[in-house]
Amino acid sequence: MRPNPPPRTPYSPRKSRPRRSARPQRSARPARRPARLIALMPAAGAARRMGRDKLLIALDGAPVARRNLMRLRAAGLDVVVTLPPGAPARARALSGRGARLLRLTDAAEGMAASIRAGARAARNAQAAGLLILPADLTAVQVAAIRRACRIWQHRPDRALRAVSPTGEPGHPVILPARLFPALMRLAGDRGARGLLGARGLTRLRLPGGMATADLDTPADLPPPHR
């Protein structure tokens, strides 16, 4: 006789290990919003040494001041333009171009009057900085303005100044909001140079005369326009 088979033991399934809960995914950090900039284009000077209104001289088919205003707008900036009282031709050349025109009763004081007005406008707009580009620069390009803004965005607490290849100070200049109170106390025709100390200043070298070439006397004009 064959021996009886051993009794079957009841099947006991393996204890399943508890599943590890999935690690919570880190939520992506929201992209930091760019710090807002207001651009100031001072156009309130008398331009006496030129013998005529240099800001209305047409270069490449457009008045000098309008060319720079359109460059600032093409760089994506909100623009404030300062004008002297009684300058209807300048106002006509710059009207309808997307800028806010401010007529200064104290324009005869000099550059400080325009900077004070620009700083007030930037403060009231809760901007983080004020970019200054004189209306009579002749070689600055949109790409250079955009580059200055992009570099400043990395350190919006610092001032930025464009310089020539040899380090000569030029424009654009970007001043952070911490300097607005000092800007609103400026007087005379010296501008904001005294507030741009060596410490805390970013220098942006631009090629050729892009940061410095301007119209001051007839000798600065291209030969056909002298």
Residue 31 lies in a domain: no
Residue 146 lies in a domain: yes
* pLDDT per position as a tens digit, 19-35: 555 555 555 555 667 88
Residue 30 lies in a domain: no
Residue 183: give the domain boundaries: 37-225
Residue 22 lies in a domain: no
Residue appearing with tokens 């410095």: 212
d(CA 226, CA 218): 6
Number of domains in the chain: 1
Residue appearing with tokens 């700083």: 119
Residue 123 lies in a domain: yes
Which residues have C-beta within 8 Å of that of residue 211, sequence separation ≥ 6? 140, 144, 162, 163, 164, 168, 170, 171, 172, 204
pTM of the model: 0.83
Residue 17 lies in a domain: no
B/e letters for 150-162, b = 16+ CB within 10 Å, e = fewer, are: eebbeebebbbbb
* pLDDT per position as a tens digit, 78-113: 999 999 998 999 999 999 999 999 999 999 999 999
pLDDT, position 19: 59
CATH of the domain at 153: 3.90.550.10
Q: Which two tokens stand for residue 137?
A: 């620069």
